[in-house]
Amino acid sequence: MTQDQSAKWTFDDGYHTASLYEFFLIGGKLYELRNEREKVGQNAESARQFIKKWIRGKWLNTQTRIYFKPRGEDEIIHNY
């Protein structure tokens, strides 16, 4: 499904396609928890590695859109 199709489907069916920013927030929190009590730290790191592998391996479709501009700064839109 394209990003445009995913954006339309998100709100019609109550399904929420996360933006890349949200995945970074989740990954950041899991990274912070890695040094907590033994079981919590192990589970947090396991979850973080799972998400990292999934994002890199599946070319995750998110609601973050990047407009590359030949001149000046590129534009990043979260929750497109």
pLDDT digits (tens, 9 = 90+) for 36-80: 777 777 888 888 888 888 777 766 677 788 888 888 898 888 777
Residue range 9-18: mean pLDDT, rounded: 64
Domain extent, residue 58, equals 3-77
What's the structural domain count of the chain?
1
Report residue 10's pLDDT band, with 50, 70 and 90 as the boundaries.
Answer: low
| Residue with the larger pLDDT of the pair 70 and 21 | 70
Q: Are 9 and 53 in contact (CB under 8 A)?
A: no
pLDDT at 9: 65
Strands 65-67 and 75-77: what pairing?
A: antiparallel
The reported pLDDT for the residue numbered 59 is 65
- Tokens 């928890």 belong to which residue? 33
Cβ burial of 60 (10 Å; 0-12, 13-18, 19+) is: middle
